[in-house]
Every structure is written in structure tokens, then in C-alpha cells.
């Protein structure tokens, strides 16, 4: 990505994140006003199984399959997805512990509380969203034709985290940015040797 593109991306991302903070209250109220038993049960399941361990296990299974099939390119891609997921997860964890933001379900006057290990105050950003975005964005960066459709998964996971009152809108937006950045860095990491100009399904 050229310098001009970065010059445009960073301000746009900053504005989007700032706008998401203004949308926190409205989105949370909407979520609470549209709580349906069946939908809540589904979103709880998505939230439960949409964390980083499930992504890593999926990545390892896929890595094993392509290793058996002998596809070097897809071995590198699935390895990049796992690495990006781990990198985003660690970054999100550091930020959320450092900021100590209370979750929407926590009744407190102080929304930001500084360094906290208590998960009730680990809202910003969403670890689920960061890990899932990194995992599938790495696939999209490596092969847009194949990976683009899978980006609906981190979007669904982000929605589920807000629906169950575990995160604010800004938590999910910031997490998605962390995940996308981690994916971009890993996919373009030269030692992995991924040529993201290729997207030939036949290689798989």
C-alpha cells in the first residue's frame, strides 16, 4: 500500500472510530429493545464459539488438510491466518487491560477505569472481533475472491458481542481495525512468502 493510501486510510479510520463512540449509546439501546429469546440464544452461541481458540483450531485443521494435499501456498495462507489471529488477540488483550473500560452490562459511573484484569472491565476493544477479523481478513488479503465472503463471520461475531451486552459499538469497530491491521502486516510479511496477487482456486 502506497504512502498516499496510508495517508487516506489512517484519518478515515480515526474518524470512523470517533463516530462509533457517538453511536455507542444508541446501538446499545437498540440492542436491548430488540431482545428476542430465539435470537439471543443464537447470538450467545455465536459469541461462545466465536473466540480465538475456535479460530485457531479451524486454522490448524485447514493447515493439516493442505499439508496433506501438498499445497505450499495454502499452507502459508492458513499459517498467516493463525498468526494474524494470535497477533490481533494479544494486541486487543493489552489494550483492553490497559484501558479498563466497563462492559455495557456493568453498572458503574466510571466507564474508563485504567488498568484492570477483571473481565468486567475489559470491554475495549472486543477480543472476539479482533481475532476473527484478523483470521478472515488474512484470507481476504491473500485471496480476495475466496476470502471476501467469509468476512461476514467476524461481522456476525461483532454483532453478537453487542447483542449480548458484552461490548459497545466502538469496542467492535476498534477491534476490527486491529484485526485488519494485523492481517495486513502478516500477509505482507516477506518471510511467509505469500503472493497476494494470486487467487487461483486451483492451487488449493
pLDDT of residue 130: 98
Give 130-170 as a DSSP string: HHHHHHHHHHHHH-HHHHGGGGHHHHHHHHHHHHTTS--HH
Angle at 156 between CA 19 and CA 198, to 5 degrees: 95
Q: Place 1 in a pLDDT band, splitting at 50, 70 and 90.
A: low
Over the chain, what is the mean pLDDT? 92
pLDDT of residue 3: 60
Q: Place 202 in a pLDDT band, splitting at 50, 70 and 90.
A: very low
pLDDT of residue 190: 84
pLDDT over 50 (residue 200): no
Residue whose grid cell is 499439508: 67
Q: What is the per-residue pLDDT across 85-119, written as a single tens digit (0 to 9) for each?
A: 999 999 999 999 999 999 998 988 789 999 999 99
Q: What is the per-residue pLDDT across 147-166, written as a single tens digit (0 to 9) for each?
A: 999 999 999 999 999 999 99
pLDDT of residue 96: 97
Q: Which CATH architecture has domain 45-196?
A: Up-down Bundle (1.20)
Phi/psi of residue 101, nearest 5 degrees: -75, 135
At 49, is the secondary structure helix, strand, or coil? helix
Q: What is the per-residue pLDDT across 52-90, written as a single tens digit (0 to 9) for each?
A: 999 999 999 999 999 999 999 999 999 999 999 999 999
- For residues 129 and 112, the answer to whether their CB atoms sit within 8 Å is no
Please state the pTM of the whole predicted model.
0.91
pLDDT over 80 (residue 140): yes
Amino acid at each position: 500500500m502506497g504512502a498516499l493510501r496510508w495517508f487516506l486510510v489512517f484519518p478515515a479510520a480515526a474518524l470512523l472510530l470517533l463516530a462509533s463512540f457517538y453511536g455507542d449509546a444508541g446501538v446499545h439501546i437498540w440492542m436491548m429493545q430488540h431482545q428476542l429469546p430465539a435470537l439471543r440464544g443464537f447470538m450467545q452461541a455465536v459469541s461462545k464459539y466465536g473466540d480465538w481458540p475456535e479460530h485457531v483450531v479451524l486454522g490448524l485443521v485447514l493447515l493439516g488438510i493442505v499439508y496433506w494435499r501438498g499445497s505450499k501456498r495454502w499452507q502459508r495462507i492458513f499459517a498467516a491466518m493463525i498468526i494474524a489471529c494470535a497477533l490481533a488477540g494479544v494486541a486487543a488483550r493489552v489494550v483492553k487491560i490497559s484501558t479498563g473500560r466497563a462492559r455495557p452490562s456493568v453498572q458503574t459511573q466510571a466507564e474508563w477505569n485504567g488498568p484492570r484484569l477483571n473481565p468486567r472491565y475489559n470491554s475495549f476493544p472486543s477480543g472476539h472481533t479482533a481475532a476473527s477479523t484478523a483470521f478472515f481478513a488474512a484470507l481476504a488479503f491473500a485471496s480476495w475472491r475466496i476470502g471476501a465472503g467469509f468476512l461476514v463471520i467476524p461481522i456476525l461475531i461483532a454483532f453478537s458481542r453487542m447483542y449480548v451486552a458484552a461490548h459497545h459499538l466502538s469496542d467492535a469497530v476498534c477491534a476490527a481495525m486491529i484485526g485488519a491491521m494485523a492481517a495486513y502486516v502478516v500477509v505482507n510479511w516477506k518471510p511467509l512468502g505469500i503472493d497476494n496477487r494470486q487467487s487461483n482456486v486451483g492451487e488449493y
